[in-house]
Amino acid sequence: MEKGPGWGADYDERRRTGDWQYQWFWPNKQINQQENTARCMSCHSSQKRNDYLFTAQRLSEFRGTPLE
């Protein structure tokens, strides 16, 4: 994810996460075109009060399913 002024403005207001944009890259730096970044937005929306970011402490407490 990366943040920039006005980024995400093309998304419906209900799906926006501030000025953050999401993308999934392969190790060779190519974009994973099949990734649905809406699930990234969905998870990060729970952190609105923290500028949509999970802190290192919160990540260590994560009990969900790791993504591959």
Q: Looking at the predicted structure, is the pLDDT value of residue 38 above 80?
A: yes
Per-domain residue ranges of the chain: 2-60
Per-residue pLDDT band at 68 (split at 50, 70, 90) = very low
Query: Region 35-56: what's the mean pLDDT?
Result: 85
Per-residue pLDDT band at 13 (split at 50, 70, 90) = confident
Q: Looking at the predicted structure, is the pLDDT value of residue 56 above 90?
A: no
pTM listed for this prediction: 0.63
Q: Which residue pairs, CB below 8 angstroms and at least 24 apart, start in 52-58? A: 52/17, 52/18, 52/20
d(CA 49, CA 53) in angstroms, rounded, equals 9
For residues 11 and 60, which has the higher predicted lDDT (pLDDT)? 11
